[in-house]
Amino acid sequence: MPIRKDKRERYVEVEVSGPREPLWVRCEACGELIFKRKLQENQYVCPRCGAYFFLSARERIAALTDPETFREFPPPQIPEDPLGFADQVPYRERLARARQETGLGEALVAGEARLAGYPLTLAVLDFRFIGGSMGVAVGEALYLAQAHAARARTPFVFVVSSGGARVQEGVLALLQMVKVVAGRELLAQEGVPYIAVLTYPSTGGVLASLGSLADVTLAEEGALIGFAGPRVIEQTTGERLPPGFQTARFALEHGLVDQVVPRAQLREELARLLRVLAEEP
Amino acid sequence: MNEEERLKVLEEKAAELRRLAEQDGLDLGAELAVLERKIAELRRKLYAELSPWARVQLARRPDRPSGLPFVQALCEAFFELRGDRVVGDDPALRGGLARLAGNRLVLLFHHRGSTPEEQRASRFGMASAQGYWKAKRLMEVAARLRLPLLTLINTPGAYPGVQAEAHNVAGAIAACIWAMLRHPAPTVAVILGEGGSGGAVALAAADRVLMLENATYSVISPEGAASILWKDAKVAPKAAEALRLTAHELYALGVVDEVIPEPMGGAHADFAATVEAVREAVLRHLGELSRLPLDELLRARYKRYRHVGAQGPGA
Ligand SMILES: [Zn+2]
């Protein structure tokens, strides 16, 4: 019996006995019942069918960095809810809810760390926080992370998982696209490399700004990469979407990314890349 | 009778008086003056109180001054440049070399078209990947020649399509933003009609951003926001309010440098006057910017976007 269903994670937690924290989850793609610890060990990829589930920003950071090396940057001091926005739910309430659900202050976690000994600056979006959307606070944190990387002369790694600009912050969110590109300019001026890792999903204003301007772009297998979401394209144009549209493979075939990397090999591939890109640690 | 109807009746009366005065040589000057004052007052009231949703409708009018006819009226000379040199051309986003009050510059603009054929070809002003790759190419031409860049924006957004994705429309928009930020000469953007999300911001990372009074600039269409956040496309008028997409609201937020007043009734009511108002504002801003040394210009531009949203209004 499913006790918690989160569409965004594409698996269902399954209670087998008693009211404890469920030990089993069911893959929505293939129906397999998976021992939860086994799924964690497999970095949230279904061991049977290979379906990719969301990785939280903290899990992503743990998977990509040397143990005990990540030092998080303090969150930027940004006035909240600049438009006083409310739809069916006031934006402030949505923020509070997202904070409670994720334990994060915002959709981006950034800091410095080491990977295979190489120092780097890392920024990771968490899709569970309002769809990993970029508002003023995320834009500011991305700017500051790049400024730090430029100053410290450490490669900048940006892991994208985002639906785009944060609607509740209106044009101020849209203009974060320009702000994060201003940050990208700092890296270019200092000759500091920038690596983008595009995961599920990399869309909208995040892709149409910083997400597309890396020196090296890796797509995680299981990624969705596109400016407009598949539903929007179907509804606006009536076009039938070709099989495999906007997958990592599609992006590779159309020349949008340098490599497609399975999640389990991402750390290794980044290390291999840093060997040719970074100065020796 | 609502105020719009009252205005119409008064206007008809005034027209009648003018006709009488001309035909019969009657001196109706005093009566006419009173009537005209009433009309002006009523119009001011009506248009000052336009709801955001009403402005969205005005911004989207197919007869809104924009596109190629606007450019031809604005500039003494315009030479169109076409093609992105890789995939093709795009009739929805056009550009070229222009002379404006004697100044050489590179111009980029959305073209929505006025005939059904044109509108279909330009997908109502939704440019695809080749449009934005072309825009980036023209920005590079302007950069090499150290020419100022003027962009005239009127788009519902970039075109969401299979080919657009295959040709990396997201990368093209990102490249335009970067090229505008680095541009080694003054840049001015004018939002003439709809400033629709990524498709607009690609041409709007400028030193000065101006908006016509009834133009809009938004992260998403009100209909899109309504269906995503309210799960009901019918509440689009409410979404239009919440998004703060009007020129005056964006001016108050410090995002827009100047609101260019429109003729009574909206820009479509007087094409020539609209062109003149835009021309005056653009020349004034270009003049101010061209007096700045390049390093100062770039520093100010960079500072503006580095701080956007991080401080209060007018920052
Ligand atoms: Zn499975």
Q: Which sequence spans correspond to the domains of chain A?
A: 1-53, 55-277
CA of A245 to the centre of ligand 1 (A): 20
pTM of the predicted structure, to 2 decimals: 0.92
Instruction: Flag whether residue B153 sits within 8 Å of chain A, measured between CB atoms.
Output: no
Looking at the DSSP bridge assignments, the partners of residue A277 are: none
Instruction: Flag whether residue A18 sits within 8 Å of chain B, measured between CB atoms.
Output: no
Lowest mean pLDDT across A197-201, A228-232, B107-111: A228-232
Instruction: Flag whether residue B26 sits within 8 Å of chain A, measured between CB atoms.
Output: no
Query: Higher pLDDT residue, A165 or A280?
Result: A165
State the Cα–Cα distance between residues B98 and B75, nearest whole angstrom: 7
| pLDDT interval class at A1 (50, 70, 90) | very low
Q: Which residue among A182, A207, A237 places its CB closest to the CB of B160?
A: A237
Tell if the CB–CB gap between B205 and A178 is shorter than 8 Å.
yes
State the Cα–Cα distance between residues A82 and A168, nearest whole angstrom: 9
Instruction: Flag whether residue A177 sits within 8 Å of chain B, measured between CB atoms.
Output: yes
Spatial neighbors of B105 by CB under 8 A, at least 6 apart, are: B97, B98, B99, B142, B147, B148, B149, B150, B286
Residue A112 has pLDDT above 90, yes or no: yes
Tell if the CB–CB gap between B229 and A169 is shorter than 8 Å.
no
| pLDDT number for residue B111 | 97
pLDDT tens, position by position, B258-311:
999 999 889 999 999 999 999 999 999 999 999 999 999 999 999 999 999 876
Give A163→chain B minimum CA distance, Å.
12
Instruction: Flag whether residue B243 sits within 8 Å of chain A, measured between CB atoms.
Output: yes
| pLDDT interval class at B194 (50, 70, 90) | very high
Residue B43 has pLDDT above 90, yes or no: no
Query: What type of residue is A126?
Result: D
Instruction: Flag whether residue B236 sits within 8 Å of chain A, measured between CB atoms.
Output: no
CA of A39 to the centre of ligand 1 (A): 10
CA of A47 to the centre of ligand 1 (A): 7
Tell if the CB–CB gap between B244 and A83 is shorter than 8 Å.
yes
pLDDT tens, position by position, B2-34:
666 777 788 888 888 888 888 887 787 888 888
State the Cα–Cα distance between residues A222 and A268, nearest whole angstrom: 17
Q: Best residue in A92, A140, A174, A217 to probe B by mutation, most B CBs within 10 Å?
A: A174
Tell if the CB–CB gap between B219 and A169 is shorter than 8 Å.
yes
Q: Kindly list the residues from chain B whose CB atom is less than 8 angstroms away from the CB atom of residue A255.
A: 168
Q: Which residue among A185, A207, A210 places its CB closest to the CB of B182?
A: A185
State the Cα–Cα distance between residues B220 and B196, nearest whole angstrom: 7
Spatial neighbors of A208 by CB under 8 A, at least 6 apart, are: A177, A227, B158, B169, B170, B171, B173, B174, B198, B202
Tell if the CB–CB gap between A212 and B175 is shorter than 8 Å.
yes
Residue A11 has pLDDT above 90, yes or no: no
User: Measured in whole angstroms, how far is the alpha carbon of residue B44 from the centre of its chain?
Assistant: 22
Residue A2 has pLDDT above 70, yes or no: no
Structure ipTM = 0.95
Q: What is the dihedral of CA B259, A172, B314, B54, to 10 degrees?
A: 30
Q: Which residue among A139, A181, A254 places its CB closest to the CB of B166?
A: A254
Average pLDDT for residues A79-99, to the nearest whole number? 95
| pLDDT number for residue A24 | 87
CA of A261 to the centre of ligand 1 (A): 19
| pLDDT number for residue A15 | 66
Spatial neighbors of A274 by CB under 8 A, at least 6 apart, are: A115, A116, A118, A120, A155
pLDDT tens, position by position, B227-264:
999 999 899 999 999 999 999 999 999 999 999 999 98
**Window A:81-140, CB contacts with B under 8 Å:** 82-83, 85-88, 135-136, 139-140
- Phi, psi for residue A54 in degrees, rounded to 5: -65, 145
Contact present, B215 and B176 (Cβ < 8 Å): no
| pLDDT number for residue A9 | 65
**Window A:199-258, CB contacts with B under 8 Å:** 204-205, 207-213, 226-228, 232-233, 236-237, 239, 241-242, 245-246, 250, 254-256
Class of domain B55-306: alpha beta
Instruction: Flag whether residue A47 sits within 8 Å of chain B, measured between CB atoms.
Output: no
State the Cα–Cα distance between residues B197 and B282, nearest whole angstrom: 23
Q: Which residue among B230, B244, B305 places its CB closest to the CB of A178?
A: B305
> In the CATH scheme, what is the code of domain A55-277?
3.90.226.10
Give B59→chain A minimum CA distance, Å.
17
pLDDT tens, position by position, B106-137:
999 999 998 899 999 999 999 999 999 999 99
Q: Kindly list the residues from chain A whose CB atom is less than 8 angstroms away from the CB atom of residue B184.
A: none
Q: Which residue among B165, B218, B312 places its CB closest to the CB of A171?
A: B218
pLDDT above 70 as % of chain B: 97
Average pLDDT for residues A248-263, to the nearest whole number? 97
| pLDDT number for residue B314 | 37
| pLDDT number for residue A239 | 85
Give B127→chain A minimum CA distance, Å.
13
Q: Kindly list the residues from chain B whose CB atom is less than 8 angstroms away from the CB atom of residue A226.
A: 165, 170
Query: How large is the C-alpha radius of gyration of chain A?
Result: 19
| pLDDT number for residue A5 | 46
Instruction: Flag whether residue B177 sits within 8 Å of chain A, measured between CB atoms.
Output: yes
Query: How large is the C-alpha radius of gyration of chain B?
Result: 21
Residue B155 has pLDDT above 70, yes or no: yes
Q: Taking the CB of residue B26, how many other CB atoms lie within 10 A of it?
A: 11
Long-range interactions of A84-91: CB distance < 8 A, separation 24+: A85/A168, A85/A169, A85/A170, A85/B242, A86/B242, A87/A168, A87/B225, A87/B229, A87/B230, A87/B239, A87/B242, A88/B229, A88/B230, A88/B231, A91/A168, A91/A169
Lowest mean pLDDT across A263-267, B120-124, B193-197: B120-124
Contact present, B147 and B96 (Cβ < 8 Å): no
Q: Which sequence spans correspond to the domains of chain B?
A: 3-48, 55-306
Residue B313 has pLDDT above 60, yes or no: no
Residue A224 has pLDDT above 80, yes or no: yes
Tell if the CB–CB gap between A227 and B239 is shorter than 8 Å.
no
Instruction: Flag whether residue A19 sits within 8 Å of chain B, measured between CB atoms.
Output: no
